[in-house]
Amino acid sequence: MAAPTLGHSCSRSTTMTTPLPPVFRRGLAVALLLFAGLAAAQGERNPARGTKPMAEPGDTARVIVKFKASSVLTRKHALLATASAAEASEKLAARASELGGRIGLSLGAGRALDERTQVLTASGVSGAALARRLAQEADVEYAVVDHRRRALKVPNDPLYAQGPAIVGSTGGPAVGQWYLKAPTSAVLASINAAGAWDLNTGSDSIVVAVLDTGVRSEHPDLAGKLLAGYDMISNAATANDGGGRDSDASDPGDWVTTTEVNDPSGPFYHCLDPDPTTKLYVGEDSSWHGTLTSSLIGAASNNGVGMAGVSWGSKLLPVRVLGKCGGYDSDIIAGMKWAAGIAVPGLATNTTPARVLNLSLGSEGACEFGYIDAMAQLTAAKVVVVASAGNSEGLAVGTPANCAGVIAVAGLRHIGTKVGFSSLGPEVTISAPGGNCVNLSGACLYPILAATNSGTQGPTASIYSDSFNISVGTSFSAPLVSGTVALMLSQQPSLTPAAVIAALKSTARAFPTTGSDATVPQCRAPDATKQDECYCTTTTCGAGMLDAAAAVAAVSTVTAHIDATPAAPTAGQTVTLSAAASTLASGRSIA
């Protein structure tokens, strides 16, 4: 049977979609709303420096009011642009006094914005309530809360803004961590993590498990971020660290030599895909895949060093399930359960259970019972599972991404089209940047910059991928979603997996329909023929492009979402109601 695959630093072919090495897997509406004392959502975490509007100090409401050109007040107390400060103050106070008399409130006068627009203040009422009341007046054009804004929260990590200068065949990309920034007309696929950080930067109570090749804990961008994980690899040859399962989740390297991959008597015979040109089986250097994915989720950020991760504050739980030529389903499924705090015979229970699991791995084939069973247990435990859709170049989504309940993530080019290597299909939940080069030679323009190691076999120096040692693949799309989910849970810890998925879908930005070459087609349902770059649809690439800021904002308030099963009941049929997709402040419930 085909094996789970992982994406790592890839070289470019003419389509820039080098296939990933295989991982072996042997054998292998009706609704009733009953609210009992439902309170408002708790305030946002880390509100300082936020773009989210901040409340007025104390009980003082501030509102910007623009009067209509026909307003009696503005004609009676005309304010000329040439008026002195004293004259302006007198006119504004007179307007405030008369308007306040009309609505039965004592209004204070703030500054003018123009001849018909000014600030009004009041005590004992909220800004929103005051704005609603003033907007009802016949001579008021509009009334809006005078929110306080602050500078955007942007990390000071140097690689966030720009990669190192290109010297020879090292350095870059010039766009730095483009995939985390706010989207622009030229770079549509960026996830706007910067906007999410103004709501929160991640809580250390939210743990993200990274089921991968392990990590290099000495990397400066993982300092202080790692919990004690576990090495789930039961096969000693695959583990490549001298033994089987143990408590050391560090990555010793997963290199495979050309001799090993061509030795018919060895455990790694033909475990990699042959070279597409020569058809020969050649070895591969260590990928440091788990370090790459971990850093994207939660690198130590805003510390003036290296790169930024999506969820700065969240803790990372490394669970090693992939080694030389990948890993077995049994180890992966055991790792999923252990990471969530579910008992695994023979292992001590994980005392720091994860709320999010990132699986940047997979292979072709249908979702099998082992994963189906594990997903049922994980969903019941309110654990969110995120997986890469796969790098099959437009073929069907692989497993475990195609399992029910998994957030399957497809890959996008910087302009928002499906990147050539990404799998697609109706199982995809959402899409996120996967990295792409644009050019066919020289420096790759839009790789996914991440933490890695320079060792070709065992570990040597801590480095970052760049425009030459590139990282592209849906393996790097999934961590962007996992980090976003961690931010969502940091904002609203009570979220269920269903609520997380609903919020991600409802806030996704629409896919572009123009912007690439005239020859680029619309994505079609997957079949036996590969398809490279194409314009995504909601039936092939999920609900849209990931918008981290919108997703976190969406779960910052109380929303009730009641699902009925069956959706269209007949007379006399039992109806089950579920509020699982609702979002509530911590400690609250829908009864």
In the predicted model, what is the mean pLDDT of the chain?
87
Report the candidate in 108, 150, 98, 112 with the shortest Cα–Cα distance to residue 130: 108
Lowest average pLDDT, out of 129-133, 272-276, 353-357, 568-572, goes to 568-572
Q: In the predicted model, is pLDDT for residue 276 greater than 90?
A: no
Q: What is the DSSP letter of 192?
A: -
Lowest average pLDDT, out of 71-85, 149-163, 532-546, goes to 149-163
pLDDT tens-digit map of 159-173: 999 999 999 999 999
Q: In the predicted model, is pLDDT for residue 504 greater than 90?
A: yes
Average pLDDT over residues 440-449: 95
Instruction: Determine whether 77 is an active site residue.
Output: no
pLDDT tens-digit map of 213-248: 999 999 999 999 999 999 999 999 999 999 889 999
Q: In the predicted model, is pLDDT for residue 11 greater than 90?
A: no
Q: In the predicted model, is pLDDT for residue 17 greater than 90?
A: no
Q: Which CATH class is domain 1-28+45-52+152-554?
A: alpha beta
Q: In the predicted model, is pLDDT for residue 200 greater than 50?
A: yes
Q: What are phi and psi of 22, to 5 degrees?
A: -75, 150
How would CATH label the architecture of 60-145? 2-Layer Sandwich (3.30)
* Options 212, 254, 331, 466, the catalytic residue: 212
- For residue 238, is it left (φ>0), alpha (ψ between -120 and 50) or beta? alpha
Lowest average pLDDT, out of 1-5, 90-94, 437-441, 448-452, goes to 1-5
pLDDT tens-digit map of 103-127: 999 999 988 878 899 999 999 999 8
Residues linked to residue 362 through DSSP beta bridges, in sequence order = 5
Percent with pLDDT over 70 in the chain: 86
**Quick check: pTM over 0.85?**
no
Please report how the helices 478-491 and 497-507 are oriented relative to each other, as an axis angle in degrees rounded to 10: 110
pLDDT tens-digit map of 379-399: 999 999 999 999 999 999 999
CB of 543 closer than 8 Å to CB of 410: no
Q: In the predicted model, is pLDDT for residue 12 greater than 50?
A: no
How far is the CA of 337 from the CAs of 263, 345, 350, 476, 513, in angstroms? 35, 11, 9, 23, 41
Residue in the block written with tokens 């699902």: 563
* Options 8, 289, 414, 561, the catalytic residue: 289
Report the candidate in 451, 447, 448 with the shortest Cα–Cα distance to residue 288: 451
Q: What are phi and psi of 250, to 5 degrees?
A: -70, 155
The reported pLDDT for the residue numbered 28 is 23
* Options 286, 314, 475, 490, the catalytic residue: 475
Lowest average pLDDT, out of 151-160, 406-415, 424-433, goes to 151-160
Report the distance separating Cα 162 and Cα 222, nearest Å.
Answer: 20
CB of 322 closer than 8 Å to CB of 251: no
The DSSP annotation for 427-449 comes to TEEEEEE--B-SSSSSS-SB---
Three-state secondary-structure class, residue 549: helix
How far is the CA of 14 from the CAs of 276, 313, 439, 447, 532, in angstroms? 12, 40, 9, 16, 11
Q: What residue spans define the domains of the chain?
A: 1-28+45-52+152-554, 60-145
Percent with pLDDT over 90 in the chain: 73
Instruction: Determine whether 198 is an active site residue.
Output: no
Instruction: Determine whether 547 is an active site residue.
Output: no
Average pLDDT over residues 511-523: 96
Contacts for 588 with CB less than 8 Å, ≥ 6 apart:
38, 39, 494, 558
- Would you tell me how many other CB atoms lie within 10 Å of the CB of residue 451? 28
